[in-house]
Amino acid sequence: MALLAYLKSLFILQLLMGFVFVVSGLIINFIQLCTCILWPINRQLYRRINCRLSYSLWSQLVMLLEWWSGTECTLYTDQATVDKFGKEHVIIILNHNFEIDFLCGWTMCERYGILGSSKVLAKHELLKVPLIGWTWYFLEIVFCKRKWEEDRNTVFKGLDRLKDYPEYMWFLLYCEGTRFTEKKHQISMQVAESKGLPKLKYHLLPRTKGFTTTLQCLKGTVTAVYDVTLNFKDNQTPTLLGIVNGKKYKADMSVRRFSVEDIPDDEQECANWLHKLYQEKDALQEMYNKEGKFPGPTIIPPRRPWTLLNFLFWATLLLSPLINFACGVAVSGSPLLIIGFILFLIVASIAIRRLIGVTEVKKTGSSYGDQEAKKQN
């Protein structure tokens, strides 16, 4: 075990995995670009192909969580809810406290066969991120600038296009709008006090416009809302860098299903419903902090081998020529080739670290309610 942990910590292995992810991602993005010719001819075929292409990329990150780090994910829910997973269009409401909360969501998507068609209401800045933003663009992800006056038409058009999506999709919403930090929480609770809303201990005040708009636009397509509250055993603070280093975490996810028919149609009543939901999420977090678990039965969905097999396919395809090239450079004795190859490794390592940096709490999040941050921006 000590040897395995040591191997996982080796930078050269992490760099090779990063190389596989980046190069395979660029290949996938190029293929996605080529599929654009299908859009005016057969939109549903375009979508089905891109679902599988995106799966091939995202499953490499899920592989890191499930097989490389060995992180365990336990669901706290009933069997009747689990039986509907992957068999209906739904909106997912997830708390936004951890760097890898999206990855835990993706592993559940993968285990129930909908990773490639998972959606999110994403901030516009992510569109500029190579691989991630580009893949999401071809997947018809809805990007917003979090300024409703500018986003209104974009969001309505983007959501309207998804009404006839051919694959079952889980549409993820971070209703808090940004990751939880103590400073943001303090500001958020000041906003709650000014609006006469109950204060929350473990969440930021939900921003209701995105939820009410998504529910309104996708009504008739989406049949349920899944409320997911994520936490980690032993007060762990997981990071993507920890996952890359092979560190194992234990994730617990409380999942509650609400039928769309039981959620009010009126926008204000729907917003009130969401505020009440977050008060219940806060109570769940309080219970978890005291008892170390969520209420209800537990279900541990088994890992599937496809994420590992997909990574091995890309690794075999891409690492063989890279290793042959590296050996050729080494035996050539050419200082120019050797220096060039070293520079390539340096650039690659910096690029991979920048991609990891996108997930870091201190580098992400909006300045919602923070007047000082807005002035700086």
> What confidence tens digit (pLDDT) does each residue in 341-375 have?
677 667 766 666 666 555 554 544 444 444 444 44
* 326, part of any domain: no
Would 299 be classed as within a structural domain? yes
Give the count of domains, the chain.
1
Q: With respect to residue 323, please indicate whether it lies within any of the assigned structural domains.
A: no
pLDDT tens column, 41-97: 999 999 999 999 999 999 999 999 999 999 999 999 999 999 999 999 999 999 988
Q: Kindly state whether residue 271 falls inside one of the protein's structural domains.
A: yes
Supply the range of the domain harboring residue 48.
Answer: 40-304
Residue 99 lies in a domain: yes
How many C-beta neighbours within 10 Å does residue 204 have? 28
Per-chain mean pLDDT for the chain: 87
| Domain assignment present for 370 | no
pLDDT of residue 358: 55
* Domain of residue 186, CATH code: 3.40.1130
Q: Where are the beta strands (DSSP E) in the chain?
A: 72-76, 90-94, 119-123, 142-144, 170-173, 224-232, 250-259, 298-299
Considering only residues 268 and 12, tell me which one the structure prediction assigns the higher pLDDT.
268
Average pLDDT rounded to a whole number, residues 320-332: 77
88 in a structural domain: yes
Cα 166 vs. chain centroid, distance in angstroms? 21
Q: What average pLDDT score do residues 197-212 get?
A: 92
pLDDT per residue as tens digits for the range 123-133: 888 888 888 89
H or E segment to which residue 148 belongs:
helix 148-161
